[in-house]
Structure 1
Amino acid sequence: MKKTFKGRPVVPGRVTAEALVTHAGFNTLASFQKSLMFGDKNATCSDQNNPDLNGKQMAGKALCLPQTIGSTTGGMVLYTAASMHRQPACLLFSKPIDSLAAAGAILADVWTDQSMPTVDNLGEEFLDYVNSGMKITVEEDGTVTVESQG
């Protein structure tokens, strides 16, 4: 079964990846800190305050989240993760993206050869519907298709 959502493309792009979902605010620095400091190429989430993601691989996943929270370094953390080839396949926000996360996604797009399509304003229904492990396809125009297993 497929369900389609329409958001605003912040960084346009096409990608298909497995969903990784959090219903809590995403602390970019806490989540990527160990990966960027100690060489974890899978970008295992190190935010012990996020039970949805802690200990799970973020690199190459369709990261589905409401919003980012925490440090003002968030944008540079996203850019650095992309420059080290440890970024999520895409960032999918149910709410409007904040300026720091937007800056990081845009800098990663402009300054690295890594793709990290970013879409916001997908709505609460999106975050209520999607579960980790589902197949996500993102289109250039901000269309996000979620496929459930079975």
Structure 2
Amino acid sequence: MKEFKGRVVIPGQCSAKALVSHVGFNTLASYQTSFLTGDKKATCSDQNNPDIYKKPMAGVALCLPQTIGSTTGGMILYTAADYGRQPACMLFSGPIDSIGAAGVLLADIWTDAKMPTIDSLGEEFLSYVQTGMQITVRDGGVVEVSE
């Protein structure tokens, strides 16, 4: 087990399997097909992100450097949470960007969905964690990664 400490953006605790993206997470491209087809697993439809393409995003610990895409990205994350298709948590290696921040804040305020969000976990975090590893988010921005 390895432990990382980041900054709490949205507080909470959770435990989930990691889904790791080493490139920017395009919220619209990733969720678009899920919203159109009613896919409750929220299978990633962003073919430009080989790390997570065709993998379910609902209920996972989404580990990423940042979100990218249009300014609708925040509303996409909010909508995912409203539909119950949000990640269990979002874990950013660097500081959260405005698109990601807008989405997690809207979801936290306007839905009952829980999506703890931690940022500034460091480049070592994104280098260490691999898809399928167990992630546990604790109070105070502590993230435990185990195999």
TM-score range, shorter chain: over 0.9
Query: What are the within-5 Å matches in structure 2 for residues 46-65 of structure 1?
Result: 46-65=45-64
1:95 alignment partner, SS class: coil
Task: Report the residue type matching 1:28 in the other structure.
Answer: T
**How many aligned residue pairs are there?**
147
Verify the 8 A CA contact 2:68 2:99 in the aligned structure 1: no
CA drift at 1:60: 0.3
Verify the 8 A CA contact 2:71 2:99 in the aligned structure 1: yes
Runs of 4+ in 1 over 3 A off after TM superposition: none
2:140 alignment partner, SS class: coil
**Offset from partner CA, 1:39-63 (integer Å, 9 cap, x none):** 0000000000000000000000000
Residue number in structure 2 paired with 1:93: 92
Residue number in structure 1 paired with 2:15: 16
Task: Report the residue type matching 2:36 in the other structure.
Answer: M
**Offset from partner CA, 1:90-146 (integer Å, 9 cap, x none):** 000001111121111011111111100011000000000000000000012110000
Structure 1 CA distance for aligned equivalents of residues 82 and 20 of structure 2: 23
Task: Report the residue type matching 1:10 in the other structure.
Answer: V
Match status 1:133 vs 2:132: yes
Match status 1:34 vs 2:33: yes
Residue number in structure 1 paired with 2:43: 44
Segments of structure 1 that go 5 or more residues without pairing to the other structure are none
Task: Report the residue type matching 1:71 in the other structure.
Answer: S
Segments of structure 2 that go 5 or more residues without pairing to the other structure are none
Residue number in structure 2 paired with 1:122: 121
Q: Percent identity?
A: 68
Structure 2 CA distance for aligned equivalents of residues 107 and 22 of structure 1: 23
2:104 alignment partner, SS class: helix
Task: Report the residue type matching 1:95 in the other structure.
Answer: G
